[in-house]
Each structure stands twice: as C-alpha cells, then as structure tokens.
Amino acid sequence: MSTATGVGSMPGEDFVESQRVVLGELGDLPHLVELPGRGVTAGMVGRALGLVAELGVDLQPAGWRLTGSGGASGVDHRRARSLLAQDLDGLEEQAQEYAGAFKVQVAGPWTLASSVEKPRGDKVLSDHGARRELAQALAEGLRDHVRDVRRRLPRAERLVVQVDEPSVAAVLGGQVRTASGFGRHRTVHPPEVSETLGWVLDAISGEGAEPWVHSCAPGAPWELLRKAGARGLSVDLAMLTAADHDPLAEALEAGDTVALGVLPGTDPVSLPTDTQVTESVLRWLDMLGLDPEEVGERLVLTPACGLAGAGPAYPRAALALLGKAAGHLTG
C-alpha cells in the first residue's frame, strides 16, 4: 500500500518532541527531524557540512566558507557536527527498537556548491576543482553517516537517504547569483551535474541505502536525476508541469519511488480532508495513465517542502492527514 513521510524540517527547537511526533504519525516511513529554527548550524547547509570531515569550514557574516586545503574548521562547523551527533543520540534513544523503513536527509552537492564560498570569496560553484572536492568530501561523509545511522537503528529494515537539491535547476540554467549579487555563475553542463551528483548517490547505494533526490523548485531535471542514480524522486505536485509527467511516470513504471508533495509546507487557510487529498492524487495518477493498485508502495505522500515555517500545530495534523490519505489509495 502507499505510505507517507515528511520532507525533513519541522518548526521549533525541541528535537525530542518533534522526533516523537514524526515517529508517532509516520509509522511506515519516519525520518530524522531537522530543526533549522535552532540556528544556522542546524540549517540545511550547516547540517550537511557537519558530515564533511575532510574539509575545513567556518562561518562568516556572508555564510559558510571553506578554509582551504588543510585549513582548520571554525567553532560553528564543530558546533554543526556536535548538534547532528546529539540529534542522532536522541533518535537512538527513541527509535532503537524501530524495525521498519527510515529516512534521513542531506543537502546535495550542487546546493552546497551554490551556497558555500571558497576561501577567498565567491561560491564554490565558480571553481571546477573546488566543487569536485566538496562533492567528493560529501560522498565520503555520507558513507560514514549511513553506517552510523545503521548502528543506531540496528533493526531498521530499509534506510532511505534523501538528497535535497533545490538549486540544481538553477545551476543547469545559469541562474545562481554571484556573491556580489550583480552577476550569475555560468551554466554547468548536464554531464558534469549528473556525474557529480552520481558520486553522492553511489556512496549512498554503496552502503546499502536507497538514494532519493528532493526538489520543490520548478524545472527540476527528473530524467537527469534518475540517470545519476536516484531511486526515488521527491516532488511538489503544485510545481509540476506537463513536461514533468513522463519522467515521473517512467520512474514509477520502472519500480522507483515518487514522493508526491500534496500539502503545503506552511499552514493553509483551511486543511483539506483526507478524501480531498486522495482524490487529487488519483487525478494525477489518472493523468499519467497509472493504476494506484499497480503503483502501490512506490508512491509516497509528503508535504510539498519542509515544515520549518509552519505553526506548532500544523505538522502533526498534516502528517496524520497524509497517513490517512495514503491508506485510502490502495486500502
């Protein structure tokens, strides 16, 4: 049957309570909670850099910056690592006996390259060698991370690693702004985008985990992401155009997962019913010419994006609603 999960982030600063909500409402595919409200070290970029042990990183007024070959990490980079370790300790305490599928999330190499600066300024994206080095360090860090999560959740039968790439379409389209804000970085060609992302996805699958890629930005290159090694595509239903339907249908028909974002990431004026959510998914599947019974558990329902900007009550209600709607699809 179909299932439900979250994209990753939740509002507030209480990890224990947020993780408890996720484990309670998403019994078939819970995820490691991200709480960017705790500050920049807990944000998407800082959390991913916390996995990168081979490169020195520090935090400047303009954002995260590499410190150069052999450079020392700043206190904020060490804090990001420590915070992730604390969260994993909390997860282990709550979910050590958990025996189902579980998901963790990490920012992808192109989103990092578009966000992190080189030692002497401007984005890593502007330097071919620097972006390769950052991607390879991320891949190595993810290998260790997957092993660590498996150690902490010894009974988990399946581990999904969702690579968040909201910037990949902008990288391909030459739309990432330079540090000055007055120019744009040159387009990176699809073969390099695919190869670089492939190092990260291969590192995940090499450890026996299932690599997904998430983007809620328009124009995401779904076919390229699959060719790079993604076995799951996490999408925002409201952002999809006619051009997106064929690659997503092909993914489902090939046995890959599509995680369909069907609820907003922030509090709506009125919450739809589970029946309304189910009907919207069925309409989409009908447009693709797919039978929900045949798609089964390969279709996962999610919010469109993370829930960090939502009010305190909405995440629990949204996740419970997704679970009910998923049960209707093939129940």
Mean pLDDT of 81-87: 97
Q: What burial class does residue 256 get, using C-beta atoms within 10 Å of its C-beta: 0-12 exposed, 13-18 middle, 19+ buried?
A: middle
Structure tokens at 185: 């970085």
Task: Summarize pLDDT for 146-196 with one digit per residue, the tens.
Answer: 999 999 999 999 999 999 999 999 999 999 988 777 888 899 999 999 999
Exposure of 299 in the CB half-sphere (CA atoms within 13 A): 30
Residue written as token pair 């989409």: 284
Q: What is the reported pLDDT for 70? A: 65
Total Cβ atoms within 10 A of residue 181: 7
Q: What are the tens digits of pLDDT across the range 229-254?
A: 999 999 999 999 999 999 999 999 99
CATH code at 168? 3.20.20.210
CA 331 – CA 147 distance, rounded (Å): 35
Q: Which of 57-71, 120-134, 199-213 has the lowest mean pLDDT?
A: 57-71
- Report the pLDDT value the prediction gives residue 331, as an integer from 0 to 100: 59
pLDDT at 46 over 70: yes
Query: Could you tell me where the DSSP H helices lie in the chain?
Result: 15-25, 44-49, 75-95, 109-113, 128-152, 168-172, 190-206, 222-228, 242-253, 274-288, 292-295, 314-330
Task: Give the model's pLDDT for residue 115.
Answer: 96
Task: Give the number of domains in the chain.
Answer: 1
Structural domain including 45 reads 3-330
Local confidence band at 1 (pLDDT 50, 70, 90 cut-offs): low
Amino acid at 261: G
CA distance from start to end of the chain: 7
pLDDT of residue 62: 86
**Mean per-residue pLDDT over the chain, rounded:** 94
Confidence of residue 87 (pLDDT cuts 50, 70, 90): very high
String of b and e for 213-250 (b: at least 16 CB within 10 Å)? bbbbeebbbbbbbbebbbbbbbbbbebbeeebeebbbe
The pair of three-digit structure tokens given for residue 121, joined into one six-digit string: 């300024």
| Phi-psi group of 173: left, alpha or beta (phi > 0 → left; psi -120 to 50 → alpha; rest → beta) | alpha
How far CA 24 is from CA of 2, 42, 178, in Å, comes to 17, 23, 43
At residue 294 the predicted structure's pLDDT band, cuts being 50, 70 and 90, is confident
